[in-house]
Amino acid sequence: MTRAVLKAQKQNLLPDYLRRKASEVISMVFNEYDYETDIQVKTEEAERRGHAAGLEEGARQNAVETAGKLLREGVYLQTVIKCTGLSENDIKNIK
């Protein structure tokens, strides 16, 4: 998996996202992604930074942006749903 992420970075696929989240991407592949846990972790991180207000909308916007990037890279719809926690209708509206 690490080689796949490095190859994607070398080919300039999702450069901003992988620069920030490469280790998280690898971890998600090996562990079942849980949207609720992801939101909880992001909430805790935001509270530590003092930016808890507006996190829910920010997290949703981040998921929408990520879904758009994944779709443009040709990732299967069901994989995007699982990784972002968005509904199929939400994702179809992105296209």
The token pair at 52 is 């808890």
Same domain, 73 and 52: yes
Structural domain harbouring 25 = 1-31
Whole-structure pTM value: 0.43
Residue 10: the pLDDT is: 78
Same domain, 22 and 66: no
State the total domains in the chain: 2
Tens-place pLDDT, residues 21-80 = 777 766 766 666 677 777 777 777 777 665 544 547 778 888 888 889 988 889 988 888
Higher pLDDT: 3 or 28? It is 3
Higher pLDDT: 33 or 20? It is 20
Q: Are 91 and 77 in contact (CB under 8 A)?
A: yes
Same domain, 61 and 41: yes
Q: Are 43 and 55 in contact (CB under 8 A)?
A: yes
